[in-house]
Copies of this chain bind each other. A is one copy, B any other.
Amino acid sequence: MSSGDRLPARLADVAEAAGVSTATVSRVLGGSPHKVSAATRELVEKTAARLGYRVNPIARALRSSLTRSVGMVVPSIRNPFFTELVEEVEHALSAHDLNLFLSDSRGSVELEAKRLRSMSSGTVDGILLVPCHAERSAPAMAAAVAQVPVVQLDREVPSLRIPWVGVEDRSGIRDVMAHLHERGVRSIAHVTSTESSLSAAVRTQEVIAEAARLGITLRPEHLIDGSFSIAEGHGAAELLLRSGEVPDAVVCTDDLLALGVVAGLQAGGRSVPGDVLVTGFDDIELASMMLPSLTTVRQPMELIAAEAVRLLTQGRDATRSGARITIPGTLQVRQTTQPRA
């Protein structure tokens, strides 16, 4: 049934065709530090090209126990922040000639554990993980890290000594609050998702602290805690409108929530920023494309991805260090916090 496609050339075929040993071919083509004369090298390269030879990465991996690929597990690839992070990671890996094995844990600790198990049994040289739960992700991670280097991104499981790379949450929030204060905001609501992520919890902490420090009112019933999604933000806005007293601004711990809040406020007949200011966090692509465009804190995803990949490629020592690399975000002031005319 298989038509005229010939089986791909193996290392041995190249060796035979070139009249040298397999060892020599391997040394030339595998980029080994071993010395090979210029003439032989050229001969080998020529014949390899002529035969259309390509290494069998599986065989290479079995022999060298190096796969040249890394795994990445995120809670939801559909969340634009993670999508953009994955994209940056892919680019960073390309530079090192590494492939990406992507998995979505769908926010499930069990599924995450399964993915980690499958990856840590030799398919990848390292794992980049955005844990889906701050405590319950720990056991599977501990098991994985015994087999292969692991680096956490964005979200952190504090009970483990696994390196982490993420944004400086507190300073980002401080910038937001200072900006709102400057805009004359006297009262805020806060929409967050402390359950999903430790980062969100830290941000919320900081929102509360800064509100107190700046004399901005944050009523307990105006602190709304759910999950990260547009729908959640939409619901939060409805709640707010029903509460009767609508604050001057709504501070959200991520852009999806902020998008939902803006839509919800508009649906309720309020103008943003005319009646209420809104801020987000992350700076996903949509934040600058939406109307009104969203004031938010830009997470430098390129940097986060690059640092994570660097940690991973620098090997066990680096990933053993328990390093915590925090990278500052930058406030992007846009239309949702324009001063009222």
A residues with CB within 8 A of B: 1-6, 8, 54-59, 61-62, 65-67, 69, 77-78, 80, 83-84, 86-87, 90, 99-104, 117-118, 121-123, 125-126, 146-149, 230-231, 234, 259-260, 263, 266-267, 285-286, 289-291, 312-313, 315-317
Contact = CB atoms under 8 A, between A and B. Distances in A.
Best-buried of A2, A67, A86 by chain B (most CB within 10 Å): A2
B291 A266 contact: yes
Contacts of A99: 101, 103, 118, 123
Contacts of A149: 1
A57 B122 CA distance: 7
A77 B86 contact: yes
B83 A77 contact: yes
Contacts of A83: 77-78, 83
Contacts of A286: 230, 286
B1 A125 contact: yes
B65 A62 contact: no
B77 A67 contact: no
Residue from the set A146, A285, A289 with the largest chain B CB neighbour count within 10 Å = A289
Contacts of A317: 1
Interface core residue of A87, A102, A263, A312 (most chain B CB under 10 Å):
A102
A88 to B, nearest CB: 10
17 contacts: A1-B66, A1-B315, A1-B316, A4-B146, A4-B148, A56-B62, A58-B67, A59-B62, A62-B62, A78-B83, A80-B80, A83-B83, A99-B101, A100-B101, A230-B289, A259-B289, A260-B289
A257 to B, nearest CB: 12
Contacts of A69: 101, 123
B123 A104 contact: no
Given A1-B126, A231-B289, 9 more contacts: A1-B66, A1-B312, A8-B121, A54-B121, A55-B121, A57-B118, A58-B67, A77-B90, A263-B291
A291 B270 CA distance: 13
A13 to B, nearest CB: 14
A55 B78 CA distance: 31
Nearest to A71: B99
Contacts of A6: 146
Contact of A121 (B3, B57, B315): B57
A146 B1 contact: no
A90 B67 contact: no
Contacts of A8: 121, 147
Contacts of A4: 146-148
Given A104-B90, A121-B56, A65 B1 contact: no
A108 to B, nearest CB: 12
Contact of A65 (B3, B5, B103, B126): B3
Given A1-B312, A121-B57, A102 B100 contact: yes
A266 B292 CA distance: 10
